[in-house]
Structure formats: C-alpha cells, structure tokens
A and B are shown apart, each in its own frame.
Chain A
Amino acid sequence: MTDVDILIIGGGPAGLAAAIAAHEAGCRNVLLLEREPALGGILRQCIHAGFGMHVFKEDLTGPEYAQRFVQRFHALGLSAQCDTMALSVTPDREVTAVSPAFGLQRFRAKAVVLAMGCRERTRGALRVPGWRPAGIYPAGQAQRFVNLDGWMPGRRVVILGSGDIGLIMARRMTLEGAEVLACVELMPFSGGLTRNVVQCLDDYGIPLLLSHTVTEIHGRERLEAVTVAQVDAQRKPLPGTEQRFECDTLLLSVGLIPENELSRAAGVRVSEVTCGPLVDDALQTSVPGIFACGNVLHVHDLVDHVTVESTEAGRQAAKYARGQGEAGHPACQMLQIRDGAGVRGLVPQTVCAVRVADALPLMFRPAAVFKDAAAVVRLDGEEVLRKRFRILTPGEMVRLVVPKEVLERHAGAGELTVEVTV
C-alpha cells in the first residue's frame, strides 16, 4: 500500500491541469495514473486546431495544447504512471491499479481526482437495424485509427451525427483519401460549431442532411450501404423518404457518455442528466475527498473550460488533502442548483455559498436553440442575474459566473435556478 496525498485518475487535459494546480497549491505528493502509453488524453488524437483560444490566446492543435501541460507537469517534477489502468476506487479513497511496469498496486490517497473522460455512444445503443458488418465505427475510434495508428477505416464514408467529432472526421477522412458522401443529422440543426460545418463539410462539398437519420445497415460482412430517411418533428423516420447511400464505412458521432464506472463503484452519486458525478462548488462528489473534473463530470465542448474547471478541482483536492476542506465553515448550508426552463445539466449541483471565494462559475447546456435570449439566474425565485446571448445552442456549453456579492445578498437562500427566456 502506497500513500499519496492526491491520486489523479486520467492524464488528459483534466488530470494534467488538476495535477499542476494541486502542486501549485503546495501539494508535493501527487500521482497521476494514465492508461495510454503517453499523457495527453483524447487531445493526442485531435490533430485539428481550435484549442487554447481562451487559455493561451492562441489557436493550437490538440497535441500542442496537451504538450503545454505535459511540459509544465514534468517541469514541476510531478509524477505520472502511464500504461496504468485504475481497477477500483473505494469510498475510503483506496485505489487499485495495474500496469506492466509495476504490476498490481494499491494506493491510499488523501484525495482522489476523477478525470477519466468519456466514451462514445455505440450503434447498439442507437439500435440501428440491419446486418452487423465490419465498417461501422464510432467517429472517435476512427479518429484514433487514422491519427494515432496510421490505419484507414474505409474508403466511402457516411457520417451519422453532426457534432464536432463527426464534422472533424468528415474532413480527416477526405484529406486522407476517402470519399465522404454525406453527414446525416437527426436534429434540424447541427450539433457542432459553424466553423466546423463550413471548414469540414462546405469546403469539401459534403452535404449536411438535417432532420435525417440512418434507418438500416446493409452488407453482411463489410458495410455495403446505408438507408437514410428524413424524420418528422418527433424524430421518427418518414416512410417514402428513404434513400440509399452505397458506402463501406459508417462513422457514428451520436453522443458522448462520461465514463463513471469507477465512480459508481466508489459510491459516488451520478446525475441522470449529466451522467457525471453530482458535485458541489468545490467539485467534490458525494464521497468526501473524491473530486471530479473534465469530461467525466460533464461533456465539454472547449478544452479551455476543462482546464479552468480542473484547475479548481486540483486546488480543492489539495485543500482537502491538507485537511482544510471543510475547515472554517462548520455550518455549510448547501444551496441546491436546479435546471430551469431551457437549461440542462447545471454543474455544480450544490453550493456552499459561504465558501465561494470570488465568484461561482456555473456551466450548463441550453436545451434547444434560442436566438436573442437571456439566461436568468434566480435565488429562491428572485432574479439576481441576467445575461443576454445572441444565440444559445445545445452544441455549446454555457459558462455563467455569479459574483460572490450576489450570493451574499441572498444569504440563506435554498435554491438557485437558471432558466432561458427569449
């Protein structure tokens, strides 16, 4: 059994930022576990640009963004074990892990930071009927094949889902020599950034079929074609609108799911809305001393937000490890955060208002597309903050900051809601 102050599970942008923050907060016994052979997480395979516009005021590629943190991580003398899989986390913060270099290891941590990221929704979960041939891949897996392994999944591609991963892969596959026939999107709007629709689809003449979905898979051994149909307002396929696309590859960009198996096993309560742990303003989960940040907490769009969130988690974990977690606030009356109309997945879900340092950051996804709207924050029903937005879309997570003074003015409030009004 090895004692550590802070054990971080996951060496992507979340884990790296948390580790750096914990070190900078004075914690000197920090260990990070990463299951891949190198640090960087999902950024290693995101070779496109668009990362770091907020944090570095630069337009970096994924690997470059990751490298900034990897370099700082090493420069600070922080410890990481790669090729290491965390097998379990107990509510007492004992972590069991296994790796070829060190075999089975058990750690006892004063604080644990969960930074495991997320996985992709699969064809099985979508229940697309038809055959089960080779050639159907989650878009992120195809991204890994192409960008990390140097393998090509196929030659004639249809993409289901117009979230950023699907859009990015439309361009990647095209530049690596494949023909991308269409991007098929269930909703009447794209789930990704407009920049990506233009630079990944429009630039290459790839049609975006909104309000469409794949209704059948053809091909016994290798994919041969997919049937695509238009959908109605209830997202049900409209008979008679079917068209057939002859293709050998179907990439699925149909949703990301935070990876909380370890969390659940540790007794961490998980939100049904975000699919991530329920956390308070310190990003602490329902299990004392276990913190969560990054995509494992809720699926982010901008890695810059992951960095900011994870920096806070690392700071808080360090505080907890030093025994200062709850100190100073013996009677912490928790403010409950609830999703109002038009809002989905507010994080954190509870707040100790007294403990908030300068401001309380809140993140959520709009439940639909809203133009010329306002996000309204209420404390016990009373409006305390209003922020106008030219546009709100489910594809872009919103970050709102509630100043400490606002919380102080309504000390003792029981509930904070955020809603969208047009």
Chain B
Amino acid sequence: MIQGMMQDESDVLVVGAGVVGCAVAREASRHALRVCVLEQAGDVAEGSTKANSAIVHAGYDAVPGTAKARFNVRGNALFEDWCRELDVPFVRNTSLVAAFDDRDLAALEALRLRGERNGVPGLRVLAQDEVRALEPNISRSVIGALLAPSGGICCPYGLTFRLAEHAAANGVAFFFERRVVDVARAADGLWQVTTADGAVFRTRAVVNAAGLYADELNNMVSAQKLSITPRRGEYLMLDKQYAGTFRATIFQVPTPLGKGVLVSPTVDGTLIVGPTAEDVGDKSDTRTTADGLRKVVESAARVWEQVPAGGVIATFSGLRAHGDRDDFLVGEAPDAPFFFNAAAMESPGLTAAPAVAVWLAEQIGRALDAQRATHYVQHTATWKPFREMTDAQRIAAIADDPSYARIVCRCENVTEAEIRAAIRSRIGARTLDGVKRRTRAGMGRCQGGFCTPRIIAILCDELGLTPEQITKFGGGSNLLVTTHGARPATLGLSPERRESRVGRREVCHD
C-alpha cells in the first residue's frame, strides 16, 4: 500500500471534472452526501469538454436501444431547463441533415425512422425548396434535408463551469492537478483512490467520468474491460460577421466514423465548422494538422459554397473518447459494486450529460441509502456579462461596481468586473485560458491581441503572482520569461488581497 497523505473520507468521489463529471457531482449534491471531484488538470473542462461541436443533438443518429439513444433524447429534453437554471446560453436552433443524392435521401429516411423509434420529436424530411426557404445560403447541391426541430447549441465549458460552481455551492469539494493512478478496494470495503502525488482518497462510491482515461480506471476494478480510442476532430471558428449565414446546425449524412463535418452557428455568435474524425495513438494529441483543416474546409464546401477562407479566427482540435463497445458505458460495474461508470461518452456525450447525471445520481443515492440534502442551494448567483446588458443595466452595474466601466476585451466587450469575478468565483480562473473560458475574453477576432496584457495584470493582482508566473493553461505554459525591472504595480487593491496563492488549487468545505 502506498503510504501517503490521507484525505478525508467521502461518500462519492467523481474522477474527472468535464461536463459529465461536474453534472454528476451536481446531481449527487442534491443528496445528503459528501461528494468530491478529482481532476488531473488545473481547471474544469480541460479535456474533451472544451473542444467539441457544442451541439445538443436531437437523437436521430443513435442506434435504438443503446444507452446513447436513451440518454441523448432525455438529455436533449433536460438541456434547456438546465441551461436556464445555471444562467448559461442555449439556443434550440434546430438541425438539418443535408442530402446530395438519392442514396442520401434514403439515408435520411432511415434516420427519420430511427429517430422516431428513439422518441425524437418533430422529425420531417424536407424537399429542396423547403430547405432553401429555411436556409437561403445552403449550397444548391443540397436536394433535401432531415429537419430535427429539437436540435440545439450550447456552451459546453460555460455549462461545466456553472455546474461545478453550483456543485461547490452545495458542498462538493474539488481537487485539481490530481491524476488518479490507482483505484482499489480496501479491507474495510471502501474504495481507495490514489493520485500521482501519493495522496489517498477513501470513498464509498466512485464515479468514473475520466473521459479519455475512463478505460484505464474501469479496467483497474472490473474484469469487463473497456478500451477507449481517442478520436480526433479538427475545427475552424469563423468570424461573427458570418453568423447570419445559417440558422440551423447543418449536418451531412453520417458515416461509420461519426456525424461528419457540420456547419453551425454558436451561442457566441461565431460559426463553427468541423470536425474531422481520425483515430490517434496519443490521448493528449490535440494538434491540428494541415490535412485535417483542409478536409474540414473541403467537406464544409459541400453545404456552403463560399466558405470564407479569410474569415477564420481560430482553429482547434478535440479528442472524443470512442469506446470499443460503440456505446456509452453507464452504470454500476457488475463486478465492482459501488463503482459507477460514465464512460466512453463520445458524441452525443455532451447532450446526454444531464440525463446520465440524473440517472446515475439516483442509482448512487439508492445504493448508498442517501437522504435528500436539507439545505440544497437551488440557484447560485453569477455575474451578468456586460455585453448582454441593456444601457440601463450597464449604468446600474457601473454604479454598483465601477470596474464594470473598464472594457478589457474589446472584441467581446468583457469588463474588468467580470474578469475579477471569474478569478474570485468558487471555481476561479487562475490562467489566461481559465479567464477566457469563463468570460469569453480573448475569444474574439483579435484572439487576445488587445486584452492579454490587461488580463495578465489582473491575474497578477488578484492572485498575488508575478507576470512570469502567469500561464496560458497551467503546467509549463508560462506566457513571459523573467522580466527586467520591478514587480508589477498594484491596481489599487488592498494588500490583503495580494497574498500569494501559488500552489495546487483546492476548493474544499469543512
């Protein structure tokens, strides 16, 4: 046994702070249970959650009878309410699956039937003129489309952040930079979860939401082995100028590798194009490739004749956790009681997350004979983004907090107040990307050109760090090297706020 730092016991320990892990943690916190989340990275949503299409799928694509189908449709039904409760954006912009020939039309019909069996509402195959009436900018080679009115778009990392905050407000403890290296049954029947630094966490129930690494975790405790292959998808983001090009999410007929390249508006007013689907050998290989980006543009050109090459503002890639069972692995491992999988959650994993979380939390609550929490916090406050405010709201916000009057990110109109709030929140930002994903600062067309120096200064001020300690996303991603000259000038905050908080971050409750 590894002698290490013993942590408090918990009732539920969730491995992975992606959208699935944070959703489960939040649902579990409705019970009177001690819940904690272990995350290997320095922040929530650092894995697949931050790099996907952000689509809330209708559910026609999943094979009927699978966990994917079940949880997709249920999750889609829950998504709008969840986003409203958590003050994050959601738009039910509908989905269209484009057909280019008769073979495709036949495939659309098959999808429609499949969707109906899955319980997807409102599916209809449209003729060419109907498609063009809805989407005037769609390519003339599109001869028909399947309309799925329940399809939507969201902000996956924004949602995850708010899920984590809400969970933390309800007592969930988050431990970052804790990579799980072992899960084993202790003599007394509890699970012993060991992290890379030698710490040991003891818990009654483990939830495996470890994303790309969920197979490794499962295989530590269960003879029913799982194998996860990272399937990489590359994307291009297009400038807000093109936001009005399409209203619906435009898919193409799916292939065995996945749903194919889509073109979609995002909740932020940009346009996303992608992904490819390429199995890679390395579970952290999120590189973009010349080939991949080219394929995205080529494929998108089938539905969008004039993909504006000059309108790209960013490219990125994400890895999907493709499991060898071709389905989610959700539920208690049959040979490992109190070990609950939420694994192999490739598409439609994001959509399914709310439903998986609700279902698993019920399972866990029953298994642990848990009571409902008596003081469950229904709603956690969050800051309102300046860009979404009316003039009257802006005046009121400024009167209350003058740092709402200083715009830091010019492209997205993000103010100093929001950035400080993002750093000070329960699951606060500590890096440039952390600020970016909580506020959108740096995600606009200048990609941080204007705001980065200011955000660095604010991070230094809030966290008591020097500029060369500020990183892009933790680890060794420092932005600056040793500066010449004095420490940064203070930005007017009192000395107490500037105590150093360097070191591993934990949000814990006594």
Chain A interface residues (CB < 8 Å from chain B): 35, 83, 85, 87, 96, 98-100, 102-104, 106, 119-120, 122-125, 127, 129-135, 138, 140-141, 144-145, 148-155, 176, 215-216, 220-222, 248, 261, 264
Decide if A215 touches B485 in the complex (CB within 8 Å). no
Of B313, B407, B456, the contact of A125 (CB 8 Å cutoff)? B313
Decide if A119 touches B450 in the complex (CB within 8 Å). yes
Q: Is B475 an interface residue (CB 8 A)?
A: yes
Q: Is B405 an interface residue (CB 8 A)?
A: yes
| CA A124 to CA B446, docked complex, whole Å | 10
Q: Considering the complex, which residues of chain B in the window 434-462 have a beta carbon less than 8 Å from any beta carbon of chain A?
A: 445-450, 452-453, 456-457
Interchain nearest-CB distance for A229 vs B (Å): 11
Give the top 9 A-B pairs by smallest Cβ distance, nearest first: A124-B314, A134-B472, A221-B477, A85-B407, A221-B476, A134-B477, A122-B447, A119-B446, A129-B288
Q: Is the interface of B mostly helix, strand, loop or mixed?
A: mixed
Decide if A131 touches B483 in the complex (CB within 8 Å). no
Interface string of B103-123 (1 = CB under 8 A from A): 000000000000000000000
Given contacts A100-B403, A131-B286, contact A122 B480 (CB under 8 A): no
**Chain A residues positioned under 8 Å from B290 (CB to CB):** 129, 215-216
**Chain B residues positioned under 8 Å from A123 (CB to CB):** 447
Given contacts A96-B391, A104-B394, contact A145 B480 (CB under 8 A): yes
Decide if A103 touches B484 in the complex (CB within 8 Å). no
Decide if B481 touches A152 in the complex (CB within 8 Å). yes
Q: Is B312 an interface residue (CB 8 A)?
A: yes
**Chain A residues positioned under 8 Å from B399 (CB to CB):** 103
**Can you offer 6 A-B residue contacts whose CB atoms are under 8 A?**
A120-B449, A127-B315, A130-B287, A131-B286, A134-B477, A261-B411
User: Number of contacting residues on B, CB 8 A?
Assistant: 57
Decide if B405 touches A124 in the complex (CB within 8 Å). no
Nearest-CB residue, chain B, relative to A138: B449
Across chains A and B, the number of contacting residue pairs, with CB separation under 8 Å, is 129
**Chain A residues positioned under 8 Å from B227 (CB to CB):** none
Decide if A129 touches B449 in the complex (CB within 8 Å). no
Of A35, A221, A248, the contact of B410 (CB 8 Å cutoff)? A35
Of A106, A131, A140, A144, the contact of B287 (CB 8 Å cutoff)? A131
Given pairs A83-B406, A150-B484, A261-B411, 15 additional interface contacts (CB within 8 A)? A98-B398, A106-B391, A122-B446, A122-B449, A127-B312, A127-B315, A131-B286, A134-B479, A135-B479, A138-B449, A141-B453, A150-B485, A151-B453, A151-B468, A222-B478
| CA A134 to CA B477, docked complex, whole Å | 5
Decide if A151 touches B480 in the complex (CB within 8 Å). yes
| CA A122 to CA B315, docked complex, whole Å | 11
Given contacts A35-B407, A221-B476, A222-B478, contact A151 B286 (CB under 8 A): no
Interchain nearest-CB distance for B414 vs A (Å): 11
Given contacts A104-B395, A104-B398, A124-B315, contact A133 B472 (CB under 8 A): yes
Q: Is B236 an interface residue (CB 8 A)?
A: yes
**Chain B residues positioned under 8 Å from A106 (CB to CB):** 391
Interchain nearest-CB distance for B22 vs A (Å): 23
Nearest-CB residue, chain B, relative to A149: B453
| CA A217 to CA B292, docked complex, whole Å | 15
Nearest-CB residue, chain A, relative to B398: A103
